[in-house]
Amino acid sequence: MDVDTIWMDGEFLDWEDAQVHVLTHALHYGTGVFEGVRCYDTEDGPAIFRWEDHLERFYQSGKPYDIEIPFSPEELTAATMELIDRQDLDSCYIRPIAFYGYDRLGLSPEGIPIQTAIACWPWGTYLGEEAITDGVDVMISSWRKYASSQIPTNAKTTGTYVNSVLAGEEARRNGYTEAVVLNKEGNVAEGPGENIFMVNDGELYTTGLSESILDGITRQSVIDIAEDLGYEVTETSISRGELYTADELFFTGTAAEVTPIRSVDDNEIGEGTRGPVTEELQQRFFDIVEGRVDGYDDWFTHV
Ligand code: PPE
């Protein structure tokens, strides 16, 4: 990797020196929150996509856990800008994280210092280069998504990603590229690191916020982009069976961007390739994030 610096607790450190103690609270109990953000190489130079929305979610994610991030949004923004600038990155993935550090073990984090770090590195397509054009094969995971009555699903918490790891690895062990997880009620929730959309008769559907999903920023962006193109978008509950008979399906996420789904449990979706509505939205999404469309300026923070 062509990167050498990580910002941690207010300082720029050499990549190798950004370390924590082995008795870090978050390592034992998963008590950290994080973000995933992309910076795109636009016509006007590097620009971070929806930075303010990601920052807001970062602070909000900490609330249920009393993780009060000890840096202001301005300080985190300045640190990120400098990281991108110093390392000459034009497009990259940005990973802010805040977590309970080291003082003592025991479940209660009271009095344990909160550590904050930001790393940036180049990250290409999430599910493979061909995934963007050809789509991915997914399986319905035998693992359910944890319910929002058990752990807040709108917070991006480090520990809860064990659920995503179980589902994703089960799918890959079985020869699929990615999983889809059902919620406790048995309806569709999302992917291990993606939200999901369905297209039927030229209209869009996506799982609602009460389906135990992460409130994805790409999901909200795609809803806005689709509506701007004249599509109707409904946030609803989607059953497993509806996935099998959908005209088109696709994932959204910061890492996954807009990735078509071509089969579910070996059932072809539509023609078994990227569908036309998915292709149109995907093209529009890339045109917007790479700065080729006017009217979305407030989604960008220029470096
Ligand atoms: N659901 C989950 C569970 C999720 O982790 C993500 C992002 C999304 C939906 C989409 O949210 P948004 O990025 O705001 O559109 N997953 C992040 C982590 C990926 C990883 O492998 O690490 C991401 O895409 O950055």
Q: Residue 250 sits in a domain of what CATH number?
A: 3.20.10.10
Are 112 and 90 in the same domain?
A: yes
Are 181 and 77 in the same domain?
A: no
Specify the residue with its C-alpha closest to ligand 1, atom 2: 193
Are 178 and 91 in the same domain?
A: no
Number of domains in the chain: 2
Ligand 1 contacts CB of residue 96 (under 6 A): no
Show which of 121, 142, 177 is a domain's final residue: 121
Ligand 1 contacts CB of residue 270 (under 6 A): no
Domain CATH for 107: 3.30.470.10
Question: Cα–Cα distance between 297 and 299 in angstroms, integer?
Answer: 5
Q: Is residue 299 part of a domain?
A: no
Are 135 and 281 in the same domain?
A: yes
* Ligand 1 atom closest to the CA of 217, numbered from 1: 14
Mutate to test the pocket of ligand 1, among 38, 154, 194 (most ligand atoms within 8 A of CB): 194
Q: Is residue 155 part of a domain?
A: yes
pLDDT tens for the chain, 303 residues: list them: 689 999 999 999 999 999 999 999 999 999 999 999 999 999 889 999 999 999 999 999 999 999 999 999 999 999 999 999 999 999 999 999 999 999 999 999 999 999 999 999 999 999 998 999 999 999 999 999 999 999 999 999 999 999 999 999 999 999 999 999 999 999 999 999 999 999 999 999 999 999 999 999 999 999 999 999 999 999 999 999 999 999 999 999 999 999 999 999 999 999 999 999 999 999 999 999 999 999 999 999 999
Show which of 93, 121, 149 is a domain's final residue: 121
Specify the residue with its C-alpha closest to ligand 1, atom 19: 193
Ligand 1 contacts CB of residue 181 (under 6 A): no
Are 267 and 157 in the same domain?
A: yes
Distance (Å) from CA 218 to ligand 1 centroid: 9
Are 157 and 252 in the same domain?
A: yes
Are 254 and 139 in the same domain?
A: yes
Are 226 and 175 in the same domain?
A: yes
Ligand 1 contacts CB of residue 168 (under 6 A): no
Q: Is residue 107 part of a domain?
A: yes
Residue 156 annotated to the active site = yes
Residue 87, pLDDT score: 95
Q: Is residue 300 part of a domain?
A: no
* Ligand 1 atom closest to the CA of 192, numbered from 1: 3
Ligand 1 contacts CB of residue 211 (under 6 A): no
Show which of 82, 97, 121 is a domain's final residue: 121
Q: Is residue 112 part of a domain?
A: yes
Q: Is residue 295 part of a domain?
A: no
Are 140 and 226 in the same domain?
A: yes
Are 142 and 230 in the same domain?
A: yes
Ligand 1 contacts CB of residue 24 (under 6 A): no
Are 75 and 111 in the same domain?
A: yes
Q: Is residue 298 part of a domain?
A: no
Q: Is residue 11 part of a domain?
A: yes
Are 254 and 273 in the same domain?
A: yes
The parent domain of residue 28 ranges over 5-121
